């Protein structure tokens, strides 16, 4: 996902309502999310669907990595030799 450009990608809800289709086109063209504000505070983010799906995939991968690191730190991992033996046993079965 592209970085947000604060001068172009933050819009008040009233502006968003008035130009919904142009803001959707902007998000699709730039691949940058649009932050929608209400009373000066961020309340929603409009994102390109493909960019959002890619972000979700990256987050899921990061969560798996964090989980694996925690398991290793808890001593629940396998050594290289143990993992190799398990893999070979699975292939030869």
Q: How is 40-64 classified by DSSP, letter by letter?
A: TEEEEEE--HHHHHHHHHHHHHHHH
Which whole-number Å values give the CA distances from 4 to 17, 36, 54, 65, 68, in the listed order? 20, 12, 16, 26, 31
In contact, 66 and 60? CB cutoff 8 Å: no
Main-chain phi, psi angles of 41, to 5 degrees: -120, 140
Domains of the chain: 1-47 (3.40.1620), 49-93 (no CATH)
Residue pLDDT tens, the chain, 93 long: 778 887 889 999 999 999 999 999 999 999 999 999 999 999 999 999 999 999 999 999 999 999 999 999 999 888 899 999 999 998 987
**For the whole model, what pTM was predicted?**
0.67
């Amino acid at each position: 996902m592209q970085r947000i450009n604060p001068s172009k990608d933050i819009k008040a809800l009233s502006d968003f309502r008035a130009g919904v289709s142009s803001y959707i086109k902007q998000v699709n063209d730039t691949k940058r999310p649009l932050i929608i504000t209400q009373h000066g505070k961020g309340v929603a983010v409009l994102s390109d669907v493909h960019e959002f799906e890619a972000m979700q995939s990256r987050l899921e991968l990061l969560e798996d990595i964090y989980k694996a690191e925690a398991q290793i730190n808890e001593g629940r991992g396998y050594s290289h030799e143990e993992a190799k033996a398990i893999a070979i046993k699975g292939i030869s079965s």
